[in-house]
């Protein structure tokens, strides 16, 4: 299941995918509670399992789904013994003022995809798996290969990036500076040229 701002023409429910349009949730008067019996949630197929979630950068608009909505979707997937997958390529590594964007939703994903920021410009990606997933793979392994796997240079760069983030307190600084930047941008809202500001940490758009 994908969460996005609009239905994608390339995703077909008959192929096992369901794209959830949360546009109406943004203006819902009960979005902070998010009733599990809401009609929008009831339209999700009963057999849905995996939930793929990009926490804040859907379609490049930097929009943030309501916390209660995401928690309800997680519960639906968990009920079907499914997995929660967080796409943190554009929201991870401190951009939102937390280490990962999913942390704003008080959920625990089973898999996290990381890229871009973790290499600080060097092309590298990381897949983080929960212990339960690791045990599943040990029980039922599969072969996977691609030309850049097991790259010692990439691993060394990732190690240095993580160390630099810790040494320079980058994530806390992103949160602090982001709040200041957001406040300044918000002061420019005039309902004519600048209609609004959205952001978390230093991931801000107008």
Domain ranges of the chain: 2-169
Q: What is the Cα gyration radius of the chain? A: 19
Tens digit of pLDDT for each residue in 33-60?
998 888 888 888 888 889 998 888 666 6
Structure pTM? 0.83
Which pLDDT belongs to residue 14? 56
Tens digit of pLDDT for each residue in 90-108?
889 998 999 999 999 999 9
Instruction: State the CB neighbour count (10 A cutoff) for residue 133.
Output: 14
pLDDT higher than 50, residue 5: no
Q: Yes or no: is domain 2-169 CATH 3.40.640.10?
A: yes
Buried b (16+ CB within 10 A) or exposed e, 25-38: beebeebeebeeeb
Separation of alpha carbons 56 and 64, rounded Å: 5
Which pLDDT belongs to residue 191? 83
Burial of 12 (0-12, 13-18, 19+ CB in 10 A): exposed
For strand 198-200 and strand 203-205, is the pairing parallel, antiparallel, or unpaired? antiparallel
């Amino acid at each position: 299941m994908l969460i996005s701002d609009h239905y994608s023409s390339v995703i077909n429910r008959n192929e096992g995918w369901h794209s959830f349009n949360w546009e109406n949730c943004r203006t819902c008067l009960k979005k902070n509670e998010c009733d599990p019996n809401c009609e929008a949630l009831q339209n999700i197929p009963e057999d849905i399992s995996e939930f793929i979630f990009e926490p804040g950068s859907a379609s490049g608009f930097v929009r943030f789904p309501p916390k209660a909505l995401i928690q309800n979707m997680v519960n639906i997937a968990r009920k079907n013994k499914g997995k929660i997958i967080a796409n943190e390529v554009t929201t991870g590594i401190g951009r939102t003022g937390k280490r990962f964007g999913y942390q704003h939703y008080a959920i625990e994903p089973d898999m996290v995809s990381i890229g871009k920021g973790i290499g600080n410009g060097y092309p590298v990606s990381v897949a983080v798996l929960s212990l339960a997933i690791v045990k599943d793979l040990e029980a039922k392994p599969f072969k996977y290969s691609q030309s850049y796997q097991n790259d010692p240079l990439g691993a060394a760069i990732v190690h240095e990036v993580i160390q630099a983030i810790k040494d320079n307190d980058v994530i806390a600084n992103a949160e602090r500076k982001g709040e200041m930047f957001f406040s300044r941008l918000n002061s420019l809202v005039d309902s004519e040229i600048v209609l609004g500001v959205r952001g978390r940490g230093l991931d801000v758009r107008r």
